[in-house]
Amino acid sequence: MDIPPLSVTTPTASYHILVGPGLLARLPAQLAALDLRGAVWLISDTNVYPRYGGALMAQLRAAGYPTQCQIVPAGETSKNLTIVSRLYDWLISGGIERRDTLLALGGGVVGDLAGFVAGTILRGVALVQLPTTLLAMVDSAIGGKTGVNHPLSKNLIGTFHHPRLVLSDTDTLASLPPRELRSGWAEAIKHGVIRDAGLFEQLEGVSTEFDSSRFASFDGMTTQSVARRTQTIGAVIRRAAAVKVALINADEHEAGDRILLNYGHTIGHALEVVTGYGTLLHGEAVAIGMHLAAQIAARLDMIDTALVERQRLLLHAYGLPTSIPPTVEPARLLTVTLHDKKVHAGRVRWVLPTALGVATTRADVPEALVRTIIASSIDRSAG
Ligand SMILES: NC(=O)c1ccc[n+]([C@@H]2O[C@H](COP(=O)([O-])OP(=O)(O)OC[C@H]3O[C@@H](n4cnc5c(N)ncnc54)[C@H](O)[C@@H]3O)[C@@H](O)[C@H]2O)c1
Ligand SMILES: [Zn+2]
């Protein structure tokens, strides 16, 4: 049962996104189909490589591909120029050629890092994204944004470099820690809110099935129910990825609607900064940001409060937070929020919903309103 792949088609790139179980085993055949016949350089991290890297290397070698790998420490701190430089050393001393291929096996960190290296070494070599987190499958592996962090800010150094293929093997999600899985659901829910009411409804319908703690463990499940769940999760990931694909196909470089993907990220990014990276996972911060943005939209009469509540319930069903941790200082959060990267001519461009599945940008959100919503969203349940 082969479902037609999703396709990114922009003026500069054209590639497929395949989602489903067992796909990593099909990588050698997929490379050959793309006429990628040079050596293969695999980049992965210390959590992912031990689980999936060895088998993948063996398959590639068996198919005749000269294959080497480099493993970076797991976590956001690996997205830096020192590691980039080490990867350049490895590739150049190993004799990388223009016709070779870099593989990014891991979550968004490995994808962004390997993507940046692939986009810059020899002025660009082929890249294949092999995402192993839900977040990477529905979001970061698609669209060609690559980059690393600067000590002063996240994702400031980067380039556009689209992959030649994205293979999302859903079997890898079985080993993903539950909290990481929940973080990925936030982006899927975001895609439903901004562009696809049907996806939102589908996520409402299957939330109990995807209760994150159970997804991480297949223990005690029959082979049949594992297969059924794998199929359902594949369909949902595919649909969530399709939202990003459609936005990119229409607007490759964020001149227009691609910015809608930033829903929940204005306050979300600010929360990541003020709590210190790593305290809140990206998706958790985005979930809180979405709840606050929806409240702002309601206060501006753009949506009904019923939609705010419906989104809140869905976020909770996927184990995501919607209130600001009590340690956050509201004034600091406001200041950082108003300095968001998406500031345009000095004004923050807020992405706000106007209905389920529809969103728009607004640059006229009063600062006082943002302050009020932040103040009323601090978590007071602790202590
Ligand atoms: N390029 C883009 O368009 C884009 C979009 C969104 C986010 N991002 C970036 O993505 C990054 C976050 O990505 P992420 O959430 O995937 O984080 P991540 O890559 O750090 O992965 C999360 C954790 O899960 C581990 N892991 C990954 N796959 C696993 C598996 N199958 N089994 C067990 N453990 C596994 C990783 O080692 C890591 O510890 C951020 O750096 C963010 O800036 C980029
Ligand atoms: Zn995000």
* pLDDT, position 340: 63
Q: Nearest to residue 271, comparing CAs of 365, 337, 352? A: 337
Both tokens assigned to 245? 């694909």
Top pLDDT among 232 and 179 is at: 179
Residues 123 and 147: beta-carbon distance below 8 Å: no
Averaged pLDDT, 97-103: 98
Q: Residue 79 pLDDT more than 60?
A: yes
* pLDDT, position 216: 45
DSSP 134-153: HHIIIIITSS-EEEEEETTE
Q: Residue of the nearest CA to atom 4 in ligand 1?
A: 140
Q: Residue of the nearest CA to atom 21 in ligand 1?
A: 107
Q: Which amino acid is at 50?
A: P
What is the per-residue pLDDT across 102-145, written as a single tens digit (0 to 9) for each? Answer: 999 999 999 999 999 999 999 999 999 999 999 999 999 999 99
Separation in Å, CA 311 to CA 191, 307, 353, 360 = 12, 6, 11, 17
Three-state helix/strand/coil letters over 283-341: HHHHHHHHHHHHHHHHHCCCCCHHHHHHHHHHHHHCCCCCCECCCCCHHHHHHHHCCCC
Distance 235 CA to ligand 2 centre (A): 20
Distance 48 CA to ligand 1 centre (A): 10
Averaged pLDDT, 14-40: 97
Atom of ligand 1 nearest to the CA of 187: 6
For ligand 1, mutation pick of 180, 273, 284 (most atoms within 8 Å of CB): 180
Q: For residue 316, count other CB atoms closer than 10 A to its CB.
A: 14
Distance 108 CA to ligand 1 centre (A): 4
For ligand 1, mutation pick of 47, 183, 261 (most atoms within 8 Å of CB): 47
